[in-house]
Structure 1
Amino acid sequence: MRAIAKNVDGHYYPEFHHGWGGCAEELFHYTSRYYTYTEAFLRNLAGEPEYSMGSYKANMLSDEQRRLMAAILSCRPDRASARAILHLVSDAERSCGEVEETLRQTYREQLEVIPSGVALVYVHRPHESQLQDVAPLDPFLNIAERLQLPVAVKAHHVEVPLKLLARQMDSSSSRIRENLNEAILRLHTAGYLLRNHPGLTHMEAHKIADEDAV
């Protein structure tokens, strides 16, 4: 985890791994009515097809759990980190404000650089693409086209109806689920953010896009 930046009002901004994309904001700062996308992303990443975030809201996290969430989100998205988040979310839902010692030890190094007793706030930071000589949009756009999912790319934002996307991420086809999650990870890693655009049509997508569209 990189350095913590201190804001003038005393708030600290943890540096989250870019692979989480907008899911980090959803998990750490607020929970919107479009959380189903984040839920499906975590479910597939963790390999837990029956998992549900239930009634989770970010403000359910205790201060200690919030520090741990920041620590986990500083790590690369993979099965282990996704399962740690599922565990933490479940504890928060049950109003259990404590952090299990096994999780604390697993993320001890990350926790050491996060101050305690201060307000932790997330903000998305643009970053350079980590993918060299790769078109990170192509896999996602190709899958979206096959699934007839409208997409418009505008200034490093990928606009898509997130509820429709979440539905496809919960497809009965394991191949679709895996390929879609991998394509989304590539978008996140390249610095793209998925944004909800309810009711987007293919025609509108082509009108508003300043890059690619399907």
Structure 2
Amino acid sequence: MVYGKPRHPQSQGSVERANCDMKDMLVAWLSDNNTTDWTVDLKFVQFQKNSSYHSGIRRSPFAALFGSDAKVRLTTSALPHDAIHCLQITAEPPAVKPPAVEQVTAEPPAVEQITALGVLCTTVIRVTAEPPAVEPTSPLSVRQKNITSQRKRACEAQLSQAECMVKRSRRIMDCGNVGNNVTIPIQMVDRGRGDPKNIMGLIMDIDENDNYTIAVKSGILSGKYTRNQF
């Protein structure tokens, strides 16, 4: 939420949901592996979270960023299944003897040869400095198109999810009008033991973003409030 507030987790629902999911996944991983070293297992839980299907963007976060699903083991690679079943694992690779190195002594080149060699190297570097043109059908071009397409679709799905959340919030929570009396809850960190849980307020103004300016007995509150905050 753009207009979310600190110490108000109701306006940060997506963050709170992600934190709860990560906590549950980490607890399950520690229980399955019979360990308490959560810092080591965090990378596995993170990869599992990033490679899982997300209903908001309608694909996994890994696919939305890299344009393809995560590759895990050989079964998800581009190799044919028949070739994977025919693979054989050898215990130790055969030893390869390094080739014999012969010492060759050569006379140092003359000054004219060094100058000519320097000119030749400079010319080659200048010619090969420009990157080769990428063909439209090359694997790199296809991967770039897939990444652009996946990110665009993920953004559209996320905007659609945000619109549904806003419509649901407006349907459940009544909108206020200028001059209506409202009650504003006081946060636990700002409330003493004998202080009331809520304070009375009056709606003074509503802007184009559906944020409310509320005044209390001591004056106008500095921040703006949304419907779920009063």
TM-score range, shorter chain: under 0.3
Q: What TM-score do the two structures reach when normalised by structure 2?
A: 0.20
Q: What TM-score do the two structures reach when normalised by structure 1?
A: 0.21
- Computing the radius of gyration from Cα coordinates, the structure with the larger value is 2
Q: Higher relative contact order by CA 8 Å / sep ≥ 6: 1 or 2?
A: 1
